[in-house]
Structure 1
């Protein structure tokens, strides 16, 4: 077991307040077991980026297996938050992929934790983290906005279409604020889905890979991912693997509601891959173009209502998981 000094980056608001409770349990465990740590509290959207960059420039260090032979405390950043908090940290690290990130999930969706088979109870996740001797590589997505030239990273997926529309609708609903106060904010997405799923229209989309260019005229959902889950545990791409270098692109066509309801039922039972209205691609590089404005989301965060021209690759990154 490697000797660690933990830097806990905590989003107390994650999971409608779950983050604060998780942090209390984690700190109690660390105090009881005399494990050294510091805390850094993310107080607003984007704050985790600032905190992670400050730690990156001051105390964090690249991993080397030789560190196991020393008596020094290795400084490890451990994120306590949801998929959105992890998204901020990964983008703060950018090209510093050799500096490991620990993660204790306490959000409402926790899709990344599911994708890497990470324990979702905070103390159990901490115990697992402390038992490890070294980090391991997992693939994340690297995506370039060809309209702006901006390059960013994500740990889960990027969606264009109905899933992003649901995220935007839920985030701007008055119901979400009320449900958050009751600690059941995730229900706002279910409420939004019942409305959006009928309103989302099909849209043209072009997919370009090394092998082919494919045009879709009536897209309902397009998700690019490197692990199976989206939407808080729905296995849209059940065979996607974050240990492999390729990504999975899932495209669903807009179809009449009876057929769509059947497809959703198949999805929940993991029987959806045989549907002729669903198209799956596995590739190491891809480009997606949507010339009509649509909603987009990345790791559950809004990308706005706009046109899209995005190029994708994968990027190996060290995680202490």
Structure 2
């Protein structure tokens, strides 16, 4: 089993990545564990890196070291490959996925990650993509999309960026016209402020 840690240097304003990389080497360099640390370079780079690794057909665990967006990229890159497992070390703005677990502090422990048990989790499929935690339509999706506008502001946390993005989007035209089909027969038509399909109890940093 190979343990591959993919660090997104842009996640969470880059505050924790250096410490995470040091912790990985500190915990694993003296142990008989096959591991690698990779620093992602740009959008789409994670998918290319994982695809190349998976083609080697080596049983591997890919750890997304970043936020929920990084985890999303890792999951979608791994879809369709066998002998592939996924872990996450949260260092993003919201880190909503790990909040679904009572023991989410374990996600920060490298030793716990490497020696942890594998569990199966559901995903949400939207066309040809998979969502780990939530799939948003409407106002929420617009707010999440606009968060990047505020992430470079000093002293603004992940939840703070989300709140500022909400205020920003309130100034725009609200409502999306949607046809919602439930269980293949019930149809809801109208203008909706937002819609959320949730695979957990936390999103938007809270």
Q: Same fold (TM over 0.5)?
A: yes
- Candidates 118, 134, 137, aligned match of 1:135: 118
Q: Name the CA shift for 1:97/1:59 in 2 (closer, same or farther; >3 Å).
A: closer
1:87 aligns with 2:72: yes
SS at match of 1:86: helix
- Number of aligned residue pairs: give it: 204
Give matches, 1:145-224, under 5 Å: 151-171=128-148, 173=149, 175-177=150-152, 179=153, 182=154, 184=156, 186=158, 187-197=160-170, 199-210=172-183, 212-224=185-197
Q: Name the CA shift for 1:211/1:51 in 2 (closer, same or farther; >3 Å).
A: closer
Q: Output the CA distance in 2 between the equivalents of 1:158 and 1:136.
A: 22
Q: Name the CA shift for 1:31/1:11 in 2 (closer, same or farther; >3 Å).
A: same
- Larger radius of gyration between Structure 1 and Structure 2: 1
TM-score of the aligned structures, taking structure 2 as reference length: 0.85
1:112 aligns with 2:109: no
User: Is the 8 Å Cα contact of residues 106 and 120 (structure 1) preserved in structure 2?
Assistant: no
Give matches, 1:254-293, under 5 Å: none
User: Is the 8 Å Cα contact of residues 206 and 213 (structure 1) preserved in structure 2?
Assistant: no
SS at match of 2:113: helix
Point out where structure 1 has 5 or more consecutive residues left out of the alignment. Answer: 62-74, 145-150, 234-321
Say which structure is richer in strand: 1
What is the root-mean-square deviation of aligned Cα atoms in Å? 2.5
Point out where structure 2 has 5 or more consecutive residues left out of the alignment. Answer: none
SS at match of 2:41: coil
- Candidates 17, 29, 45, aligned match of 1:19: 17
TM-score of the aligned structures, taking structure 1 as reference length: 0.57
- Candidates 211, 224, 228, aligned match of 2:201: 228
Q: Output the CA distance in 2 between the equivalents of 1:224 and 1:46.
A: 25
